[in-house]
Amino acid sequence: MSSLYSITLFLHSWNRWLILIAGVIVIAAAIRGLSSKTEYSSSQRKWSLIFLSSLHLQLLIGILMYFFISPITMQALSDFGAAMKDSALRFWAVEHAFVNIIAIGLAQAGSILVKKQNNSAGKHKRTLIWSGIALLLILAMIPMGMMGVDRPWFRF
């Protein structure tokens, strides 16, 4: 395994934990805000920014790996027809990338809609819906034994 691949894979793997932690905090704060009818706070804005920024970093690292570094996607891209017949290669070449890009787009759209909302209840609701859907999609695409693909929980 090349050292650049090892480094990007390490960053991609550890950044997912920041995404998951920030996503859970953002969603929990939105639920709490809706149920207690509190203001949308600066802390919530900061955690939403951390969530979205970590998603964008993940996308950049993922694109770098997908097109230039990963031997897995290089193999899939060299014979895409054969890759579609192999569930593990198809997961990396299509499903993982495509669903996560949709999730990032949904999180970004939600962030824009939250900024346009004038009242806190609306901000909490939009945050919960858009970030919640994004996080569910992200969770579905983490390779943890589902779809015949497994990766370590922690890379060292």
Tell me if 153 is assigned to some domain: no
Position 99 pLDDT exceeds 90: yes
**Which neighbouring-strand residues pair with 87?**
none
Q: Label residue 138 exposed, middle or buried (CB < 10 Å: 0-12, 13-18, 19+).
A: buried
124-139: pLDDT as tens digits: 999 999 999 999 999 9
Tell me if 109 is assigned to some domain: yes
**Which neighbouring-strand residues pair with 146?**
none
Which pLDDT belongs to residue 150? 65
* Domain region containing 142: 3-148
pLDDT > 90 in the chain, percent: 88
Domains: count for the chain: 1
pLDDT, mean over the chain: 93
16-38: pLDDT as tens digits: 999 999 999 999 999 999 999 99
Which pLDDT belongs to residue 116? 97
**Across residues 138-144, what is the average pLDDT?**
86
Are 29 and 48 spatial neighbours (Cβ–Cβ below 8 Å)? Answer: no
Longest Cα–Cα distance in the chain: 54
Tell me if 138 is assigned to some domain: yes
**Across residues 86-108, what is the average pLDDT?**
95
Are 61 and 11 spatial neighbours (Cβ–Cβ below 8 Å)? Answer: yes
Position 146 pLDDT exceeds 70: no
Tell me if 73 is assigned to some domain: yes
Position 1 pLDDT exceeds 60: no
103-120: pLDDT as tens digits: 999 999 999 999 999 999
Task: Please give the full DSSP string across 104-140, using - where no structure is assigned.
Answer: HHHHHHHHHHHHH--SHHHHHHHHHHHHHHHHHHHHH
Tell me if 155 is assigned to some domain: no
